[in-house]
Chains A and B, each alone.
Chain A
Amino acid sequence: MTTNTQNLSTGTSTARRVAVRAVPKRRKSEVGLLSVLGQIALLVWALIILGPILWTLLASFKNNTEIFGSAWSLPTTLRWANYSRAWSQAHVGTYFINSVIVVALSTFGTMLFGSMAAYVLARYKFIGNRTIYYFFIAGLAFPVFLALSPLFFVVKQTGTLPLVGQFIGLNTRGGLILVYIAYSLPFTVFFMAAFFKTLPTSVAEAAVIDGASHTMLFFRVMLPMARSGLVSIGIFNIVGQWAQYNIPVVLMSDTTDKSKWVLTQGIADISVQAGYHSDWPALFAALILSILPMIAIYAVFQRQIQSGLTAGAVK
């Protein structure tokens, strides 16, 4: 029996080899041509992606005369002063730190509250479970622009609350963090609920027999088990919240005090200001300062980032 199957399989592979050898030569040249064309296309697209970034990197070391001299010439020296001007005078430093604070706290909040809600909705039966679940999912269907004007007034109102108001009103990082968390919940709940459903029940049951409370079970057993899902959705939220522009432009509209602004609106503002102060080198340096950290992080975690961002699309 065994010899028979072996014979059979060797037979097919020999047949295949013969067939491959029999492929006419003309096909080979067609493949070669296509492969060359493919190589060229890939190279061209890579240049289209990298070209603008490299050009900006060059410009960030130039002075105004060089920028308005020849667009593609190399800078005569590396003018690091452009970077220090961008960081302090153009406030990129402030914007950058604000973005880091806001995204760090809002992603943490999103992950914590999102997975808490998702866990309860995925693994506990109670009245109203489905209603609350679909309530969260419904948020995916609405364009954020529909909510923006009422949202502005909601945040303005919360700013008048006693004690906490000053931390969560308009033009505060706290308000922005809470709004980011709220708008990230639908997808996070959707994704994490599906993830918690796939986790085996046996481990949870064992932990309960050992006397774990519901809360302990969640933090000690279920969250660690859901780590790969948390990493994916975490990356998804970090990238999304870091890039957010619509919400800060509306909620942080105070142009007299830009000390709480985040990087995206800050960069847009520097671009407008560069025209008035004609400090173009600082604008290019500011651009590089906001691009390079992302490239560095991406270079290190590119595999996780790719799978994290595409996780939403693959069911």
Chain B
Amino acid sequence: MRHGRYPFVAGFLTIPVVLYVLYVIWPYAQAFFYAFTDWHGISAKQNFIGFANFTKLFHDKVFWKAVEHNIMLLLALPLITVAIALFLSFMLNQGGRSRSGATAGIWGSKVYRVVFFLPQVLALAVIAVLFQQILRPDNYGAINSIVQGLGFGSIGFLTNPTIAMWTIIGVLVWQSVGFYVVLFSAGMANIPSDIYEAAEIDGATRITLFFKVTLPLLFDTVQVAGVYLGIAAFDAFALVNILSVDNGGPDGATTVLANEIYRNAFVYSRFGYASAMGVVLFVLTLTFAILTLRLTRRESIEY
């Protein structure tokens, strides 16, 4: 077994490591460097300008709007998605009538699970174009035609600055819920049914069952869901870039950090400034990950 081990190890590692260093590590390392320069991409040389990009960011109103929207996404997306997904998966698994003491899943739960999960296999870019038509502000859109038919004025889902961000969140929730229904359902199926039976005999209602049995035993999975959705909240680029009016508009009402990084780098060629934003995004992502893992740490319940 010892024979020819090092050549073999080296042979297996060379291509993956070279690809990874060239396309992943090297650009990341460069980004941290460019964040402190005034690089515009055209000149071969760039000037080191210290923290000037970061002080400029501090006074950049659009940047703060983007941060605000990212934080809004970070709070709203996991909360809404997890709440809906928990409710739906509880109904799928325990919503049915009692069958000789054991709670049964609702009729057709398999079909529902397949339907709910479906948006997960569609690209976010395709979903963005789809909802652009569904949410058209005129009465040719799928929803506003109904709204107008009922005698109301049409809703500017994407053109009204106060609700445009919520529209973006809504579409993200539309896509995400199914994934977590499947995830939570798998978790709920692992909870032994005698725990439910015992609680039912003790006179627990379905609502108590949910809060006192299901939720505590599912806590680890819910935590994972929170981290996943939080990370998704820092992206949302495809949706903002395609779906929103004027790439993050109207008037910056839906812009997010990813969108501003893209715009500054590839529209205005401010690569140094965009890299500084990237560093801020990185710090925010890392802080979020560490905070959630720290704050939600607790004893897991063995069963």
Q: 1/0 per residue A204-224: CB within 8 Å of B?
A: 000010000111001000000
Cβ of A34 under 8 Å from chain B: yes
Q: How far is the CA of A237 from the CA of B238 in the complex (A)?
A: 18
Structural contact, B134 and A52, CB atoms closer than 8 A = yes
For window 91-132 of B, CB contacts with A under 8 Å fall at 91-92, 95-98, 100-101, 106-108, 112-126, 128-132
Across-interface contacts of A17 in B (CB, < 8 A): 100-101
Q: How far is the CA of A137 from the CA of B238 in the complex (A)?
A: 25
Cβ of B301 under 8 Å from chain A: no
Q: How far is the CA of A116 from the CA of B8 in the complex (A)?
A: 11
Q: Which residue of A lies closest to B200 (CB)?
A: A23
Min C-beta distance of A22 to chain B, whole Å? 8
Structural contact, B12 and A49, CB atoms closer than 8 A = no
Q: 1/0 per residue A245-278: CB within 8 Å of B?
A: 1100110010000000001110110110000000
16 further A-B pairs in the complex, CB-CB below 8 A; given A146-B281, A264-B238:
A30-B206, A39-B106, A52-B142, A126-B6, A146-B261, A148-B27, A148-B265, A182-B19, A242-B123, A243-B124, A246-B238, A264-B125, A268-B241, A291-B122, A291-B126, A297-B121
Q: How far is the CA of A185 from the CA of B101 in the complex (A)?
A: 48
Which of B49-57, B176-184, B211-219 sits within the interface? B176-184
For window 229-278 of B, CB contacts with A under 8 Å fall at 234-235, 237-238, 241-242, 257-258, 261-262, 265-266, 271, 274-275, 278
- Whether A146 contacts B140 in the complex (CB less than 8 A), given A38-B95, A182-B24, A267-B125, comes out as no
Task: Find B262's partner among A31, A145, A294 (CB 8 Å cutoff).
Answer: A145
Across-interface contacts of A80 in B (CB, < 8 A): none
30 contacts between A and B (CB under 8 A): A16-B101, A27-B205, A34-B206, A46-B112, A49-B178, A51-B142, A72-B146, A117-B12, A120-B13, A126-B6, A143-B278, A145-B258, A146-B278, A147-B27, A148-B278, A149-B274, A149-B278, A150-B26, A150-B31, A151-B23, A181-B19, A182-B22, A214-B8, A264-B126, A271-B132, A271-B242, A295-B118, A306-B117, A309-B179, A313-B183
B interface list, Cβ under 8 A from A: 1, 4-6, 8-9, 11-13, 15-17, 19-20, 22-28, 30-31, 34, 41, 84, 87-88, 91-92, 95-98, 100-101, 106-108, 112-126, 128-134, 139-142, 144-146, 174, 177-179, 182-183, 186, 197, 200-201, 203, 205-207, 221, 224-225, 228, 234-235, 237-238, 241-242, 257-258, 261-262, 265-266, 271, 274-275, 278-279, 281-282, 285-286, 289
Structural contact, A31 and B123, CB atoms closer than 8 A = no
Q: How far is the CA of A26 from the CA of B91 in the complex (A)?
A: 20
Structural contact, B15 and A113, CB atoms closer than 8 A = yes
Main SS of chain B's interface residues?
A: helix
Contact size range, A: 35 or more
Structural contact, B200 and A46, CB atoms closer than 8 A = no
Structural contact, A147 and B121, CB atoms closer than 8 A = no
Cβ of A81 under 8 Å from chain B: no
Min C-beta distance of A162 to chain B, whole Å? 17
Structural contact, A268 and B145, CB atoms closer than 8 A = no
Structural contact, A139 and B91, CB atoms closer than 8 A = no
Among B95, B174, B224, the one with the most A-chain Cβ atoms within 10 Å of its Cβ is: B95
For window 1-21 of A, CB contacts with B under 8 Å fall at 16-17, 19-20
Min C-beta distance of B131 to chain A, whole Å? 7
Q: Which residue of B lies closest to A136 (CB)?
A: B20
Across-interface contacts of A113 in B (CB, < 8 A): 15-16, 19
Across-interface contacts of B25 in A (CB, < 8 A): 135, 139
Across-interface contacts of B27 in A (CB, < 8 A): 147-148, 150-151, 154
Across-interface contacts of A34 in B (CB, < 8 A): 95, 206-207
- Whether A71 contacts B145 in the complex (CB less than 8 A), given A120-B9, A242-B123, A243-B124, comes out as yes
Min C-beta distance of B217 to chain A, whole Å? 15
Min C-beta distance of A73 to chain B, whole Å? 10
A interface list, Cβ under 8 A from B: 16-17, 19-20, 23, 27-28, 30-32, 34-35, 38-39, 41-42, 45-46, 48-53, 55-56, 59, 67-68, 70-72, 113-114, 116-117, 119-121, 124, 126, 132, 135-136, 139, 141-143, 145-155, 158, 178-179, 181-183, 185-186, 189, 208, 213-215, 218, 239, 242-246, 249-250, 253, 263-265, 267-268, 270-271, 283-284, 287, 290-291, 294-295, 297-299, 302, 305-306, 309-310, 313-314
Q: How far is the CA of A97 from the CA of B52 in the complex (A)?
A: 46
- Whether A245 contacts B121 in the complex (CB less than 8 A), given A38-B91, A287-B129, A313-B228, comes out as no
Structural contact, B116 and A46, CB atoms closer than 8 A = yes
Min C-beta distance of B127 to chain A, whole Å? 9
How many cross-chain pairs have Cβ atoms below 8 Å apart between A and B? 300
Among B15, B26, B118, the one with the most A-chain Cβ atoms within 10 Å of its Cβ is: B118
- Whether A117 contacts B17 in the complex (CB less than 8 A), given A48-B174, A313-B228, comes out as yes
- Whether A72 contacts B142 in the complex (CB less than 8 A), given A139-B24, A154-B27, A291-B122, comes out as yes
